Amino acid sequence: MKNKYVDFISDEHFLDCLANLHKAYLKAKNNIAKKDFYSNKVDTFKLTIDAKFNAIDEESLIQAEILRQIDKSINNSIGTFHEQILGGIKDFEVGNLSGFDIKAKDDTLFADIKNKHNTMNSSSAEALFQKLSRYADTYKKAKCYWVQILAKNSFCELWKGEINGKEYSHSRVYKISGDQFYALLSNKENALFQLYKILPVAVKDYLNSIEKSKPITENSALDEIKSEIESSKRTILDQITFENYSYYLGFDKL
């Protein structure tokens, strides 16, 4: 029986991947309380400058910052979605925190997947090259790939060059764009394009197949902060700064 969506993974696996992604979206978009908003320390110097240079009122600025935090979480989930899709191709599997993202079941391929080409600094790139080289040295028939799902060009080439002042090269360590990696694993030249074109249809089918969930709770972080300033009489930014950095010299005077 012919697949409805793409011809390199089953419809069931495709919908399972979408279900996992949907759960990640709901979790990311679910109520962000003040505690969550503060968890990584808010850069109120940047927010102050943004407010002035871009002529944005403080309330709109904080809403935008909350949405930025949500978007960052969702971007990570998109990378996981690609891993799960690729892990459903015959003869391949997902790494599941084993040090690689995708591998061939016969140990002839290992890959680390990045959603975008620019998500690593030089230290991360060096560590990744060394890791892929270790896999290539351990598994003599294996080719190892740094996959860039969204790359600047379409390519598959040996990864070699200078990283942090050191020359790196290995005969079986490659870097590859997302389109070519999908093609390599699926033996379908247009596999990534197939995924792109059918995605709206598959998402619609998935959403129609599930019970309508309760409305997502609105993010309460801003309301919690606004309730605090009723008594403190601070501005929104001063309140956030005080609650994040009151232990810094002079900041307890806000």
User: What integer pLDDT is reported at residue 76 of this predicted model?
Assistant: 85
Summary mean pLDDT of the chain = 92
Residue 70 predicted with pLDDT over 90 = no
What's the confidence (pLDDT) of residue 27?
85
Q: Residue 19: its pLDDT value, please?
A: 95
| The pLDDT of residue 69 is above 90 | no
**Tens digit of each residue's pLDDT (9 = 90 or more) over 29-68:** 787 889 988 988 999 999 999 999 999 999 999 999 888 8
What are the residue ranges of helices labelled H in 30-163? 34-37, 44-53, 58-86, 122-138
Q: At what angle do helices 11-29 and 191-209 cross, to 10 degrees?
A: 70
| Average pLDDT for 180-193 | 97
Q: What is the pLDDT of residues 88-108, one digit of tens each?
A: 999 999 987 678 999 999 999
Confidence of residue 218 (pLDDT cuts 50, 70, 90): low
Residue partners of 181: CB distance under 8 A and separation at least 6: 86, 111, 113, 145, 147, 149, 156
Q: CA of 44: how far to CAs of 52, 113, 236, 244, in Å?
A: 12, 33, 10, 9
Q: What is the pTM of this model?
A: 0.83
Specify the DSSP class assigned to residue 214.
Answer: P
Answer for the pair 184, 176: CB distance below 8 angstroms, yes or no. yes
Which amino acid, 192?
A: L
pLDDT above 90 coverage of the chain, percent: 74
pLDDT tens digits, one per residue of 10-36? 999 999 999 999 999 888 878 788 998
Mean pLDDT within 123-152: 95
Place of tokens 């003869």: 91
CB atoms within 10 A of CB 103: 22
Query: Nearest Cα to 112, choosing from 72, 142, 69, 141?
Result: 142
pLDDT tens-digit readout, 144-179: 999 999 999 999 999 998 888 889 999 999 999 999
Task: Tell me how crowded residue 217 is: count the other CB atoms within 10 A of its CB.
Answer: 11
Report whether pLDDT(214) > 70.
no
Give the least confident one: 63-72, 87-96, 225-234.
63-72
Half-sphere exposure of 29 (CA within 13 A, CB side): 10
Contact 176, 138 (CB under 8 A): no
| Residue-level pLDDT at 32 | 85
